[in-house]
Structure 1
Amino acid sequence: MDSFKRPLWICILLCSGSISAGILILLKIFQIDLKNSFIVGGICFFILLLTMTVLEGFASKLFALSSGIVVPVFAIVYGFPSLFSLYREGQRQKGNNILFALITVCQVSFITVLGSLVTAGILSSTKFFLTVDRFKGIKFIMTLPILLVIILYFYSLTEGNKSSGFFKKCKTFLLHPVRLWEVIIVFIIATGGIFYLIRTGNTSVVPVSDFERNLRAFLDNFLIVRPRFKDFLLGQPALFLTVYLWRRGNLRYLWLFLAFATLGQANIVDTFAHLHTPLLVSLLRVFHGLWIGCIVGFVAVGLYNIFILFEKHFKLRGHG
């Protein structure tokens, strides 16, 4: 069997694309001027050429990891750009919120898929296709984008002096009175996060339950290619709900849903990072996760509206 390895110039071109995506994020959020963006880009490109010339294998893995981290952030920032504009709680947007959410989810996911193909392309070789070598750093890809998006989101909400405003918002957030139910929710999320990290990667110390195994078998038989649970049960519904809540002007816990939404996009990158899986299978897996996730997101919106109605009802009874 003939071995395959993408040409070096293609790898450099793909890595340059991920560098450009990172610079575009800086332009969007931090509004750095064009001169500084060219300086940053030039430095990154010089490092790219130097490392690719001296240590191509290591550099490819390093830039693939960097690309995998940048792609979900870029997809959220540019797929849903209005999220990162100065926006006050209570402001409602005109138009069909459900339709806007649906379009945005598809838009963000499409950008992520394109970026994931770039990330996978950097490492394309027979070694990765045959799992002789594997994509390293999946846990970083599944966690760092979440942290970065949350930081960028809070930063974008600050007025005036961005730096001082950002730290002021962080201080206000940290000094916010904590309720018991909030502690319980944080504990549940933290426990789920630890479990999620343990289950992430090529190997897992947590065994798959019989229920999950049966559900996987059902989805495989029904859809031919099974979507990933983190896609259609968590990531895409969270993104759908994030867009909907933003449109409704409900920003209080938006950052939390945004975190799960970013996780979903990172999961798409992870899907394409399995280079031994045929490309068509990965595309179909993401597609199924997208349309099922949108349905789950629609249901989540309905449950949210029911919750709001109950909340208003009990408030009225309390005042009555």
Structure 2
Amino acid sequence: MYRYWNLRTPKLLWILTLIGMLCALPLVYARHETETSTKNVEFVFDYRDLLDIADMKADPKAFVDGELGKMKDAGIGSLAVYESTLQELKESRRIDVFSAHEAASLTQGPVNPGNNFTYVVFTEPDTQPVLQAMITDTFTSLGVPTRPWTYKGQPGLIIEMGVDEASLKPMDPDPFTMQKLKAQGFHLVVRLSNRRPFDAQKMDKLLAELQKLGVTRIIVDGDEVPGYGETSTANLGKMAYMLRAHGIGLAAIELLKTPQKGFSTLAKDTFYNVVRLHSFTEKDGEKLTETGLKKSELDTRIQGVADRFVLAVKDRNIRMVFLNAKPGKNIDKGVITDPLNALYASLNGPDGAVKRVQSLGFQLAPAKPFQIDEMAAWQKVARVFILLGGVALIALTVSYFLPQTALGLFVIGTIGAIGLRVLSGSLYAQGLALAVAICAPTLAVMLAIRRVQSGRAAAAKSQLGYALLELVRSSLISLIGVVYVVSLLNNITYMLVLQQFRGVSLLHLVPIALIAVYLLFFSEKLTAKQRVARLRTMLAFNINVLWVIIAVLVLAGGYYYLSRTGNEGQASGFELLFRSFLENVLQVRPRSKEFLFAHPVFLLGAYLAVKHRSAAYLYIIAVMGQLSIVDTFCHLHTPLHISLIRITYGVVFGTLIGLVFIAVWKLAARSWKRWSSLLRE
């Protein structure tokens, strides 16, 4: 009975796979709708960095005012304001700060060895009452006594703490700075930390003031979100409630070495009022002010910065670009330097980022979160068929190795998937998506191999036509896996990279290994004993120098392949230039390994397999192109239409280069025949 139904299972598995794919397509479209729901892009400059640069100028206030005008002209519409410190208030010229020794020198009094206090003088009568209350409240909450002090009739304050430590203590953002910047037409983004004891009442008051100033988003400053605690999440819940009440969201900084503690919880509790942020760091800015930099080199780097910003917005769903800068010293010229003008050029130059971003349909405005549609009833039904179809695809792939397991594997797999779904929705989605991502390109290439081994390839009327059809057919089967991966991981947490798709590195190796095993042991009609005998024969091969050389070359190629894979992949300087060229010419860069290597090898292998079955071994390499198609869509922070354009370019250009491969092969084959015939003569 089992054997009877097992023989009919493959057709059923194909039907379930296709039904699951059709049910997944609306979810794919829903993902597309989400990631295109906002087109606002916000360029934000770090106002504290501007103060640091201004502090080295002859007239700091005039410098700041002048640069703010330049920023608006360059397309920078927002400024980031931090929690105040004594040092920042000093750089804003609102206070002067002195150590005990400096205060003694000013008052010409004796130095008290038991006094290492901080002395503050308020320089602006209008701001003194508010700032004095803010400073007093901050240090009182820390248990640090303060008392009034005057210097030459100017009101001041004594803080009973050393000046170095006192200058580090965070306070509320400077209200006068925020009012001034808002009056000048800038949108404000505020950076808040968890460095102060969390007080829900004070935080609510602060957020209310920020709301009045038009603040719609905060950026976490430091490793912990405000309200985070090691032992309790109660304050996080309060913080999330207050953010929702005041209409303020978060910004998720990309490429952090370690996630900010509590961020995922806060994001979830604010219903994912989150945008992705790309940071241009102070270290990045230093590359624009290096000593001895020629104008041509500077222009190249400026263009590179512009390309970087456009790529972030277009390819990674970045909606906020955060700009940093710091002053430097050019000892050769004896001047203080900064990267501000170079940054303005990268934004508003002839080929600047602003115009290019706008040409892509984006607009310069405060960043808004993606709009998430609630799961409708039909989606719940669709996900049932997606589960069945995903398991069917996996069982179908395994059945090409072990035909007798098809039915049993499908039943067991379905039960296991349901159980995993109940246990952990995230683990289920990632596990099934990874398995499907591995199986789809593997299945696509195994089917191509079966057509060679069955003789259908040899019956083709046109070698070239057959090869082209095989590439298209295999790519379409790989796209089935894409549809499943996108639908299974259709969650805002992946788009915002609050949750990572784990185990994708297996996708780069497992299909290659499976195709090699299939070709060697399962593509022909061999019994189990014959397969064991073949394995023994292979293990008993005599190893000579040629085999060692081949093994070294294979290992070197594998190492290079892995080093080029993923976000951490390494690329040479020439390749980076080539990538930049493709990006600028095509707007969307195809993946090099696809169109330069894997797809052309596939086309050549399919072309040769019509007359030479052994050419099917080229599919071991060519499967890299098919798995790369699926892997492209595993970058879940990349818009779907960008990934689709990327793989289309890969197939089209891969086909063109594949035709060159075929032409070179035919030329080489003809030359070999002529040369060998001459030798025989």
TM range (shorter): 0.7 to 0.9
- The answer to whether 1:220 aligns with 2:583 is yes
- d(CA) in 1 for partners of 2:455, 2:539: 21
- d(CA) in 2 for partners of 1:44, 1:194: 34
Q: Greater shift after overlay, 282-291 or 308-317?
A: 308-317
- d(CA) in 2 for partners of 1:135, 1:201: 12
Report the residue type matching 1:125 in the other structure: N
Match 2:608 to one of 228, 245, 249: 245
Contact 1:60 1:123 (8 Å CA) reproduced: yes
What does 1:190-205 correspond to in 2, within 5 Å? 190-204=555-569
Aligned in 2, Cα 1:10/1:59: closer, same or farther, shift over 3 Å? same
Partner of 2:491: 125
What does 1:1-12 correspond to in 2, within 5 Å? 1=273, 2-3=371-372, 10-12=382-384
Aligned in 2, Cα 1:295/1:278: closer, same or farther, shift over 3 Å? same
Aligned in 2, Cα 1:165/1:307: closer, same or farther, shift over 3 Å? farther
Contact 1:232 1:292 (8 Å CA) reproduced: yes
Partner of 2:500: 134
Match 1:287 to one of 636, 640, 648: 648
Partner of 2:636: 275
Partner of 1:63: 432
Deviations 1:81-120 (A, max 9, x none): 4135379xxx954411011100110110011112112112
Contact 1:77 1:84 (8 Å CA) reproduced: no
Partner of 1:13: 385
Aligned in 2, Cα 1:250/1:51: closer, same or farther, shift over 3 Å? closer
Report the residue type matching 1:211 in the other structure: F
Cα distance, 1:198 vs structure 2? 2.3
Contact 1:3 1:126 (8 Å CA) reproduced: yes
Report the residue type matching 1:97 in the other structure: Q
From the two aligned structures, give the one with the greater strand fraction.
2
Determine helix, strand or coil for the equivalent of 2:394.
helix
Report the residue type matching 2:497 in the other structure: T
What does 1:36-75 correspond to in 2, within 5 Å? 37-75=406-444
Partner of 2:517: 151
Cα distance, 1:220 vs structure 2? 1.3
Q: Greater shift after overlay, 78-87 or 125-134?
A: 78-87
Cα distance, 1:163 vs structure 2? 1.5
Aligned in 2, Cα 1:10/1:194: closer, same or farther, shift over 3 Å? farther
Report the residue type matching 2:603 in the other structure: F
Cα distance, 1:167 vs structure 2? 2.8
Deviations 1:56-87 (A, max 9, x none): 11122111111111111122233564135379
Deviations 1:240-272 (A, max 9, x none): 112112112150x642x2111111111111100
Cα distance, 1:307 vs structure 2? 2.6
Aligned in 2, Cα 1:317/1:178: closer, same or farther, shift over 3 Å? farther
Determine helix, strand or coil for the equivalent of 1:248.
coil
Report the residue type matching 1:192 in the other structure: G
Contact 2:453 2:613 (8 Å CA) reproduced: no
Partner of 1:265: 626
- d(CA) in 2 for partners of 1:237, 1:273: 23
Cα distance, 1:140 vs structure 2? 0.4
Contact 1:138 1:200 (8 Å CA) reproduced: no
Deviations 1:162-213 (A, max 9, x none): 2222233334445556675564344223212112112212223x3x322111
Report the residue type matching 2:503 in the other structure: G
- d(CA) in 2 for partners of 1:298, 1:180: 34
Aligned in 2, Cα 1:198/1:4: closer, same or farther, shift over 3 Å? farther
Decide which structure has the larger Cα Rg and report it.
Answer: 2
Aligned in 2, Cα 1:5/1:147: closer, same or farther, shift over 3 Å? farther
Partner of 1:109: 475
- d(CA) in 1 for partners of 2:632, 2:492: 18
Q: TM-score, normalised by structure 1?
A: 0.86
Q: Which runs of 4+ in 1 moved over 6 A?
A: none
Aligned in 2, Cα 1:98/1:183: closer, same or farther, shift over 3 Å? farther
- d(CA) in 2 for partners of 1:220, 1:5: 36
Contact 2:450 2:523 (8 Å CA) reproduced: no
Aligned in 2, Cα 1:12/1:147: closer, same or farther, shift over 3 Å? farther
Determine helix, strand or coil for the equivalent of 1:51.
helix
Aligned in 2, Cα 1:212/1:143: closer, same or farther, shift over 3 Å? same
- The answer to whether 1:167 aligns with 2:528 is no
Cα distance, 1:16 vs structure 2? 2.4
- d(CA) in 2 for partners of 1:176, 1:245: 28
- The answer to whether 1:31 aligns with 2:403 is yes
Cα distance, 1:20 vs structure 2? 0.7
Report the residue type matching 1:16 in the other structure: L
Aligned in 2, Cα 1:60/1:215: closer, same or farther, shift over 3 Å? same
From the two aligned structures, give the one with the greater helix fraction.
1
- The answer to whether 1:315 aligns with 2:676 is yes
In the alignment, structure 1 segments of 5+ residues that lack a partner are none
Cα distance, 1:27 vs structure 2? 4.0
Aligned in 2, Cα 1:8/1:190: closer, same or farther, shift over 3 Å? farther
Cα distance, 1:51 vs structure 2? 0.8
Q: TM-score, normalised by structure 2?
A: 0.42
